[in-house]
Amino acid sequence: MNKDTTTEAPRPTDNWAGYYEKIGKQHLAPLWEVMSELVTPQPASACRPHLWRYALAREVLMEAGGLITAKEAERRVLILENPGMPGQSRITTSLYGGLQLVLPGEVAPAHRHSQSALRFVMEGSGAHTTVGGEKTLMEVGDFVITPPLAWHDHVNDSDQPMIWLDGLDIPLVQFLDASFAERFDSDAQPVSRPLGDSQARYGANLLPVDHASGSVVSPIFNYPYARTREALEALRRDAAWDPCHGLKMRYVNPNDGGFAMPTIGTFMQLLPRGFETAAYRATDATVFVPVEGHGRTQIGDAIFAWGPQDIFVAPSWARISHSAEEDSTLFSFSDRPVQQKLGLWREERGDTAQRTT
């Protein structure tokens, strides 16, 4: 049966007003008045396509650096507000995005929270973040994880500003009413593991012989861009280009091969020069960040020309197609792991049938 399961609200009669007033006093409401808004034939998000020019965002972010210190702010961040959801601190319906600045000599104080966080480094070199007692250096294009309730602080002991994109599941955790947070008793936590420890233990296609972690978060918390780019370049030799994605890989948890984070899926794709993808849409609204190259992306009726470090968002079930003017790499993140766990994720590839996993 192909008929939509939702219908318009029935027309009220004269005697309904009194009935609605009566049931309202008992904190009851008629489903038939809102059924078509609650159960929609397809996603009906307030999320809108949008692109943030990095150069313009950087200018006002650096201005903030002269107004408030990293310590005063705790996190000096400009929120990327989706224009369809102003004032809600959301870049998509379920995810938060922001640009964070740590100036030379500054420390963003140690704290921890229930929310999962990713850092995607946009600018700078040599600063570090410490997560759960291990320090890692941050370079452009690196994808860094902060697991839920892991102590973390950021220190810029380089001579240049460090800027990265924060992606968190704040709206999702807020919806579930499961937020906890606390400050550490000093600005920087003690380092208890040597530099590169997690990469050596878990990032070389090896696991310690007695490793039996059931953690849903990857034990690797820094995925260096240099290594990711090398892998993409090696894979392109087979020229196995996906019509909708070019060459797209996902970051994984070596414990189980699943997503690196339980609530946020992270990806990197390569689009060769002149490549134009077939139209594609999926239920996971997605945030994209070009790392290299220039191109254009159509999202629904909107067309965005992009370059390195620009940020753009595609809403749920909006058709997307990319066109690369030169070899280009795009980092992206979405709530796909949650949707797949719940059996909700759906995609449509060009003119082919819808497919779920």
The DSSP line for 148-165 is TT--EEEE--SSS-EEEE
Phi, psi of 52 (to 5 degrees): -105, 120
Q: Which of 119-123, 223-227, 238-242, 269-273 has the lowest mean pLDDT?
A: 238-242
pLDDT score of 353: 37
Q: Report d(CA 145, CA 118) in Å as an integer.
A: 5
Summarised one tens digit per residue, pLDDT across range 240-250 is 899 999 999 99
Q: Report d(CA 150, CA 67) in Å as an integer.
A: 29
pLDDT score of 5: 53
pLDDT score of 250: 97
Q: How many CB atoms lie within 10 A of CB 25?
A: 7
Three-class secondary structure of residue 327 per DSSP: coil
Helix (H) or strand (E) holding 230: helix 225-235
pLDDT score of 198: 86
Summary mean pLDDT of the chain: 92
Domain ranges of the chain: 50-356
CATH architecture label of 50-356: Sandwich (2.60)
Q: Report d(CA 190, CA 185) in Å as an integer.
A: 11
pLDDT score of 22: 94
Query: Please, what's the largest Cα pairwise distance for the chain?
Result: 75
Beta pairing class for 295-299 and 286-292: unpaired
The whole-number average pLDDT for the span 82-90 is 98
Rg (CA), the chain: 22
pTM: 0.93
